[in-house]
Structures are given as structure tokens and as C-alpha cells.
């Protein structure tokens, strides 16, 4: 199916699971609902032509949950990552009241980190339990919510962060984008992307910040994959209200799955409805990532300029493994087309990322 006309495109219903339990076949596709059963950890993968059984293939399974909490004057990026050889979590806070927006980050990492990523979104807990760093995410998709609790102590020059917020996921009103994409022989990546209304309270350095669902968003990036040793991606996302006060969301990714116009995780959301997009083009200077980026799609539905305001970066090298990335926060401006309508995007806050790793 060609996405030269996204208006005509529809999302497939999700099968029971990403892995057929009878045949072991991976069910590649782009779906409009979450898998009832998550069994990607039962997949056999291939390494140099050899089939690797699940007890060993699970050692290659990378999984994380990332929540981008976008409030009118605050952004919190919260991640819980189990990369097999390394466990890590961070809480990145951006004060949007000033320009350039000041930011700080709390981070914990290590093989022995008390960390868990939920197996599924229907009734699973993702959490980190370390002294002075407590994160708990109750994924209750069947009840229409993801509940986040934070209790992170002040550390050196980084203020305390706390609070309790709910990402409201009414499946009858907001459709997620769920993909299972090939990333190598017998290997797949699963991702669940969706922008959601956010409600609750965050505490940053003693300041109480209320999240109201009519003006605040949670951008979910849920991920599991048997990635190849060399992995890379470029990613862009935002959630924002347009001039007509409608909720507009975007996800664009170019990654090791390839430049495929039909099998990708590129999409727009408008008031909970999803429109798939063609392949994405990222134009930026990797030597000067804080200069503006230009983004477009093969279906001509996206023409955006991203202006970075700051970044979080990593240059992690652990012998034979490495993780080098730049995650930039900033604003998007330009136009997108949804169902034939051109929508002007004016300084929508979001993220762009450039990542390259050996793992």
C-alpha cells in the first residue's frame, strides 16, 4: 500500500500477539491498537545464521518506557531503560518559562540498578528503586491510564523532583500507533506511540506545577526490540494545541528498519485520530546539532523547521559497547496536512534525537 495519499490509509487491527505462538513467525505490520498479549520475549532470533532460543535471545532484548510530559511552562522527560548490558533511568527537567530554557537532569545507571520494565501495558509496573530516586509507572491500559509517581531527592545542584500524574488513555477516543518492524533476519522492534492528555501535580524545587488535561500532554514512547549490534535512529515528536484548540501530535522516525514509505512509525494525531505518513527526511548538521533542523515526508504532509533550545547528550563507551546520542528540546514551526486540511504549526514544543549505538 502506498502512502502517497495518507487520507486513504487505514490502520490494521492488532493480532493477538507480535509472535505467532504456533509457528514462531513475527507479525510485522502497523496497527491501530495494542497487542492483547506481549510475547516478543519468546522470539527466536538469528545470529550469523544460527537460531538463538528465547533464554539467550532475551539477553539481546532492549526495552524502555519514555514519557515526555509537556506542560505550558515545564517539560519533564522520564525514561526507564533496560538495554541488557546496562540499566539506566533519567529525569530531564526543562523550565519553559525562560529563553533559553534552563534544564537539569537526575540520572541513575549500572548493571545492578534496581530497575524493571513492564512486560505489557495492560497491567504492568515499570519502576526504579534506588536511594533518593524512586520512579513507579503503573500501566493500566485496560483502565485507560498510565499512572506515574516520582520521588527524586535533591542532589548537588539538581533540585528535588516529585509528584503524581496520570496519562489519560481512553482507547475509545485516542488511537495509538503500534508497530512491529523488521530490524534484521528474524528480528523485530515493537513500539507503541501516542500523545495523551495529562493530569496531576509535579513538584520541582518546591514549586507546585499543575497538569491540566486541556493544556498538558504526555507523549508515550514504549519500546521493545531485538536490535542488531549496530543500531541508529533519528526521531522527532511533539504534542500541542493548534489555533483552533485542537490536540495535535506528531511522531517521525528514521531508523535501522529502513526508509520504508509503508512500514514505519510516522504519524499525525488530530483530536485522537491517527493519520499515517510516508517516509521521513531529516536535514541537520551532525557537527552542529543545535542549529535548526528541517523535516519533511515523502507524502508531502509535513514541512517543519525544528529550532533547538537545549540538549541532553551521551557519549557512553564501555569497551565493545557504545551509545552516542543527542536529544534536543525545542520548538517546531511550519505546516502539516491532516485529512486534506493544512494546519499551521507555531512553536510547538517537542524533541528531536540523533542516536548511534553498538550494543
Residue 231 has pLDDT above 70, yes or no: yes
DSSP β-bridge partners for residue 51: 46
pLDDT at 359: 73
Nearest-angstrom CA–CA distance, 312 and 327: 5
Residue 7 has pLDDT above 50, yes or no: no
Q: Average per-residue pLDDT in the chain?
A: 93
Scored b (16 or more CB within 10 A) or e, 170-193 reads eeeebbbbbbbbbbbebbbbbbbb
Residue 215 has pLDDT above 60, yes or no: yes
Residue 158 has pLDDT above 80, yes or no: yes
93-109 pLDDT, tens digit each: 999 998 777 899 999 99
Question: Domain residue spans in the chain?
Answer: 18-227, 229-359
Residue 184 has pLDDT above 60, yes or no: yes
Grouping H, G, I as helix, E, B as strand and the rest as coil, residue 309 is: strand
pLDDT at 320: 67
Considering the domain 229-359, what is its CATH architecture?
Beta Barrel (2.40)
Q: What is the largest CA-CA distance in the chain?
A: 56
pLDDT category of residue 132 using cuts at 50, 70 and 90: very high
- Determine whether 165 is exposed, middle or buried from the number of CB atoms within 10 Å of its CB (0-12, 13-18, 19+): buried
More confident residue, 59 or 346: 346
pLDDT at 321: 72
Residue 17 has pLDDT above 80, yes or no: yes
Neighbours of 120 (CB within 10 A): 17
pLDDT category of residue 8 using cuts at 50, 70 and 90: very low
DSSP letters, 2-61, are: --SSGGG--PBPP-S-SB-TTT--B--EEESS--SS--GGG--EEETTEEE-HHHHGGG-
Residue 6 has pLDDT above 70, yes or no: no
Nearest to 256 by CA among 198, 313, 309, 181: 181
The CA R_g of the chain, rounded to the nearest whole Å, is: 19
Q: Assess contact for 75 and 69: CB atoms under 8 A.
A: yes
Residue 174 has pLDDT above 80, yes or no: yes
The CA-atom distances, in angstroms, between 240 and each of 31, 64, 73, 86, 131 are 23, 24, 13, 33, 35
Residue 292 has pLDDT above 80, yes or no: yes
Reduced 3-state DSSP string for 88-125:
EEEEEEEECCCCCCCEEEEEEECCCCCEECCCCCCCEE
Q: Report the helix count and the strand count for the chain, using DSSP H and E.
A: 1, 25
CA-CA-CA-CA torsion sign (300, 247, 306, 333): positive
pLDDT category of residue 178 using cuts at 50, 70 and 90: very high
Neighbouring residues of 133: CB distance < 8 A, sequence distance ≥ 6: 89, 106, 108, 152, 153
Neighbours of 140 (CB within 10 A): 17
Confidence (pTM)? 0.95
Please report, rounded to a whole number, the percentage of residues in the chain having pLDDT higher than 90: 79
pLDDT category of residue 1 using cuts at 50, 70 and 90: very low
Grouping H, G, I as helix, E, B as strand and the rest as coil, residue 259 is: coil
- 229-359 and 18-227 share a CATH fold: yes
Nearest-angstrom CA–CA distance, 272 and 274: 7
The CA-atom distances, in angstroms, between 220 and each of 27, 65, 67, 69, 193 are 22, 8, 5, 9, 5
237-253 pLDDT, tens digit each: 999 999 999 999 999 99
Residue 127 has pLDDT above 90, yes or no: yes
Lowest-pLDDT range of 4-13, 89-98, 207-216, 301-310? 4-13
Kindly report the CATH class assigned to 18-227: mainly beta
Amino acid at each position: 500500500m502506498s502512502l502517497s495519499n495518507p487520507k486513504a490509509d487505514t490502520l490494521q487491527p492488532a493480532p493477538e500477539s507480535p509472535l505467532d505462538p504456533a509457528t514462531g513467525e513475527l507479525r510485522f505490520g502497523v496497527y491501530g491498537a495494542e497487542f492483547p498479549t506481549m510475547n516478543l520475549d519468546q522470539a527466536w532470533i538469528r545470529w550469523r545464521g544460527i537460531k538463538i532460543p528465547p533464554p539467550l535471545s532475551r539477553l539481546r532484548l532492549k526495552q524502555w518506557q519514555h514519557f515526555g510530559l509537556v506542560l505550558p511552562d515545564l517539560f519533564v522527560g522520564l525514561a526507564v531503560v533496560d538495554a541488557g548490558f546496562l540499566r539506566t533511568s533519567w529525569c530531564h527537567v526543562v523550565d519553559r518559562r525562560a529563553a533559553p530554557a534552563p534544564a537539569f537532569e537526575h540520572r541513575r545507571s549500572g548493571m545492578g540498578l534496581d530497575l524493571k520494565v513492564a512486560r505489557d501495558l495492560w497491567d504492568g509496573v515499570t519502576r526504579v528503586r534506588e536511594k533518593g530516586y524512586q520512579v513507579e509507572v503503573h500501566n493500566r491500559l485496560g483502565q485507560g491510564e498510565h499512572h506515574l509517581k516520582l520521588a527524586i531527592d535533591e542532589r548537588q545542584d539538581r533540585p528535588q523532583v516529585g509528584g503524581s500524574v496520570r496519562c489519560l488513555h481512553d482507547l475509545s477516543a485516542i488511537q495509538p500507533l503500534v508497530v512491529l518492524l523488521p530490524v534484521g533476519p528474524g528480528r523485530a522492534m515493537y513500539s507503541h506511540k501516542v500523545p495523551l492528555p495529562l493530569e496531576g501535580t509535579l513538584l520541582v524545587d518546591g514549586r507546585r506545577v499543575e497538569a491540566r488535561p486541556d493544556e498538558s500532554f504526555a507523549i508515550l514512547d514504549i519500546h521493545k526490540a531485538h536490535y542488531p549490534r549496530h543500531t541508529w535512529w533519528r526521531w522527532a515528536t511533539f504534542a500541542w494545541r493548534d489555533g483552533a484548540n485542537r490536540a495535535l501530535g506528531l511522531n517521525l522516525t528514521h531508523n535501522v528498519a529502513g526508509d520504508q514509505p509503508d512500514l514505519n512509525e510516522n504519524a499525525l494525531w488530530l483530536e485522537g485520530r491517527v493519520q499515517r505518513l510516508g517516509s521521513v527526511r531529516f536535514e541537520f548538521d551532525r557537527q552542529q546539532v543545535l542549529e535548526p533542523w528541517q523535516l519533511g515526508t515523502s507524502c508531502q504532509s509535513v514541512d517543519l523547521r525544528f529550532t533547538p533550545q537545549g540538549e541532553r547528550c551521551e557519549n557512553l563507551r564501555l569497551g565493545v559497547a557504545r551509545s552516542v546520542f543527542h536529544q534536543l528540546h525545542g520548538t517546531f514551526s511550519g505546516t502539516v496536512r491532516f485529512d486534506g486540511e493544512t494546519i499551521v504549526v507555531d512553536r510547538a514544543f517537542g524533541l528531536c534525537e540523533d542516536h548511534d549505538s553498538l550494543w
